[in-house]
Structures are given as structure tokens and as C-alpha cells.
Amino acid sequence: MTERAQFTLLIPFLGALTALGPLSNDLYVPSLPLVATGLGAPGGSVQLTMSSLLLGFSLGCLIYGPLSDRYGRKPVLLLGLALYVLAGALSALSADLGTLVACRFLQGMGASSGMVLARAIILDRWTGEQASRALSWIMMITFLTPVIAPLIGGYVASLGYWPSVFWLQAGAGAVCLLAVAMLPGDARAGSMTVARALGAYATILKDSETLGYLACVGLTFVGVIAFVTNSAIVFTGHFGLEPYQFGFCFSFVMAGGSIGSYLNSRLVDRRGISSMIGIGTVILAAGGTAVLVTSAMDAGLMPTLLSLLLYVFGVGFVFANSVARTMSRFRENSGAASSIFGVNQFLIGSIVAAALSLVATPTPMPLASAMAFAGLGAAGVWWGWLKHASVPSA
């Protein structure tokens, strides 16, 4: 199989594996009221099913990468997907909120296998600009998921039977599981001991340049998580939009990430990773500042939307290139490196989500302040630190 054919066939499949993560969240959100009613639980308590999913993601990210460096990608991926399917079925059969919270934790652990190992599989085959190009396509699919999934989830919720969403998720996981089972194994199995695989965490985290890229990516996702967590309050409470109108606005902004990822995949071969990260961080800083200025001036809905779109557009340039640059330097332990980036994302996400959940007023200023801090911070890390420390990847 030629490299072009391999790229064309493999990337959509890896994108589907990665999409199981956001699918577990965005497909489920429209059914939250049904779950509360069906299980006789307070609406606020049902939010625990979201938090437990995030915790499951974080723990799963820590486990799968090093294990795949030791035992190979395929068996570990099969284990994670099997857990995802089982957790989805158990979620659908849950009789009380506590059981559902526990099952959602397991579902998060299962979904994280696809998110972590898709990146590792890419770095098994490509490095440098080619890896960035592949990761950009994965990111494009990831950003499209929250555009489409809530629409499907809304239709499923309209059926009035809340377990349906979990059966649908389990079915999607089963399709991925069967597809992985038909793939050939990889040559990594047995290449190192478990202790050595786990010890890679220390090696990677001792590298100052890696810490810089983790900081850059972490700050980038502060803005994304702030938008995902707080935008519903701002758009419905401050701007007075109806829920369906907010849905269109949310999709409009998230589509910016897909556009940015697509453009990065087209330009990175010519411009190089460092140039694209630099462009991306400038866009992040401009977008975050614009959100803050338009919010402070109360400039209205459309200027705010365009500012948010600009920020998310910049994410498409920064994430794929930062991950490709770092993981290309640790090819023997690319699973562990991918895990670290995953934990970094979800740890940042949980902190930001917890902080913004304390905001009771619909003013856009907390969201705007978080995005300005994130954009300017990511730009500061790149231009003040990483740009001088980075060397061209192999």
C-alpha cells in the first residue's frame, strides 16, 4: 500500500476513534433532563455524570500510552474499546444515578484509548511536518464532532427514552472495536518492559522543551474549555438567545477549529512546524484579546462570535504542531508522550470547568478574561521561550 493510500484510509479511521471522546459528551448533553427525570435525580446532581466522564478520560490517558509502548497498539486499543462498549451498555441499564456515574467513569476510561493511541499510531508512521498534517486531519474531525453530535443527540432525546443515547454510543464503539480486530498487529509488542514504559514519563517530563509545549497546549485549551463550559450561560443569559439559536452559534465557533486544522494540513509542509505554531499563537492572542475588548465594550453578538471564531481557528495551528514536534522527539515512547498530552488537556479542562461553574451571572467577562489570558499566555510561551529553544524536527 502506498503512503498516500495508507494516509487516505488510516486517518478517517483514527479520526473516528478520537471522536468517541467528544461523542460521549456531546451526544449525551441533550438527554440530561431525561436522565434526571428517569432516575428521579436533581438536575444539578446529574452533572456528576459529566465530571465522572472527565475523570475517566484523565485516568485512562495515564494508562494506555505506556501499556501500548510495551504490548503494542492493537491489544491495548481492543481492551479500551471493549471497556467503552461494556460501559455504554451498563450505562443504558443503570437503575440509579450512582451506578450511572460509575459507568460514565468507565466509559471515559474506554474512550480515552482511542484519543491517546490514535496520536501514537500516527507517530509510528510519520514524523515532523507529515505527522502534523495527519494530526491536523484528526483535529478537524474532532472539532466537527461537537458540531454534529448535539444535533443527533437532540433527535435521540426527542424519542423520550434516555438509555437510547448510551445504546447508540455502545454501538459506535462496537463498530470501532470490530474494525480494530480486523487490523494486523504492530511490531512494538514486547519491545520493552512495563517498568521501562512507565519510566518514560520521568524522561519526558524532565525535558524542559516538552514542558514548554505542554504549557503552550494547556493554555490553548484553557480558552477552548472556557468557551465550551461557559458559552451557554453567556449566549442564553446575556444575549437572550433561544437554546436552538445557541446551538447554531456553538457550531459556528467550533467549525473554526476544523477550518484552522485543515489549513494547517495544507500549509505545514511548505511553512514548517515552527512557523505554523508562531502564526497560531498570534491568532490565539488576537482572538482572545478581541473577545475581551468586544465584551468590555458590549459590542453585541456578531463581534463576539467572530472573536470567538478567531480564537478557535488558531487552535487548529497550535495543537497538531506542538504534539507532532514533541512526540517526534520521543518516538520510542510515543504512547507515553501522547498520554501526557491527554492528561494535560483533561486536567486543564477539569480545573477551568470547576472554576467557571462557580460563575452564576451571565456576563461574558469571565469567559472573555479566560480566553484573553489563554491566548496571550500561549503566545508568550512560544515567542518568549519555545521559539528560541526549538530545533527543526527530524
pLDDT > 60? residue 188 = no
Write the single-letter amino acid at 239. Answer: F
DSSP string, 239-300: S---HHHHHHHHHHHHHHHHHHHHHHHHHHHHH-HHHHHHHHHHHHHHHHHHHHHHHHTT--
pTM for the full model?
A: 0.83
Half-sphere exposure of 87 (CA within 13 A, CB side): 26
Residues 6+ apart with CB under 8 A from 115: 17, 18, 20, 21, 57, 61, 342
Q: Where residue 219 falls among pLDDT bands split at 50, 70, 90?
A: very high
Task: Work out the average pLDDT over 185-194.
Answer: 61
Residues in the chain: 394
- Residue 237 DSSP class: I
pLDDT tens digits, residue range 236-274?
Answer: 889 988 867 877 888 899 899 999 999 999 999 899 999
CA-based nearest residue to 146, from 58, 253, 53: 253
Percent of the chain that is helix, strand, coil (3-state, to 5)? 85, 0, 15
The answer to whether 61 and 115 have CB atoms below 8 angstroms apart is yes
Task: Work out the average pLDDT over 196-223.
Answer: 88
Q: Is residue 394 part of a domain?
A: no
pLDDT > 80? residue 155 = yes
* pLDDT attached to residue 3: 60
Half-sphere exposure of 53 (CA within 13 A, CB side): 22
Write the single-letter amino acid at 179. Answer: A
Q: Is residue 2 part of a domain?
A: no
The answer to whether 83 and 110 have CB atoms below 8 angstroms apart is yes
pLDDT > 70? residue 189 = no
The answer to whether 96 and 60 have CB atoms below 8 angstroms apart is no
Number of domains forming the structure of the chain:
1
The dihedrals phi and psi of 42, each to the nearest 5 degrees, come to -60, 145
Q: Is residue 307 part of a domain?
A: yes
Q: Where residue 357 falls among pLDDT bands split at 50, 70, 90?
A: low
CA-based nearest residue to 269, from 132, 97, 71, 92: 132
* pLDDT attached to residue 394: 38
What does the mean pLDDT of the chain come to? Answer: 87
* pLDDT attached to residue 190: 54
- Residue 18 DSSP class: H
* pLDDT attached to residue 16: 92
* pLDDT attached to residue 192: 65
Q: Is residue 5 part of a domain?
A: no
Between 336 and 174, name the one with better pLDDT.
174
The answer to whether 120 and 73 have CB atoms below 8 angstroms apart is yes
Q: Where residue 393 falls among pLDDT bands split at 50, 70, 90?
A: very low
The proportion of the chain whose per-residue pLDDT surpasses 70, expressed as a percent, equals 91
Residues 6+ apart with CB under 8 A from 19: 114, 141, 142, 145
Q: Is residue 212 part of a domain?
A: yes
Q: Where residue 176 falls among pLDDT bands split at 50, 70, 90?
A: very high
> For position 91, which CATH number holds?
1.20.1250.20
Q: Is residue 169 part of a domain?
A: yes
Q: Is residue 3 part of a domain?
A: no
| Residue span of the structural domain in which 357 resides | 11-389
Dist. CA 345–CA 136, nearest whole Å: 17
Q: Where residue 29 falls among pLDDT bands split at 50, 70, 90?
A: confident
Lowest mean pLDDT among 50-59, 159-168, 241-250, 320-329: 241-250
Cell of 333: 515512547
CA-based nearest residue to 106, from 90, 94, 119: 90
Half-sphere exposure of 223 (CA within 13 A, CB side): 41
Dist. CA 227–CA 368, nearest whole Å: 9
The answer to whether 277 and 318 have CB atoms below 8 angstroms apart is yes
* pLDDT attached to residue 92: 96
CA-based nearest residue to 265, from 116, 88, 139: 139
The proportion of the chain whose per-residue pLDDT surpasses 90, expressed as a percent, equals 48
Cell of 209: 522543551
Q: Is residue 131 part of a domain?
A: yes
Residues 6+ apart with CB under 8 A from 384: none
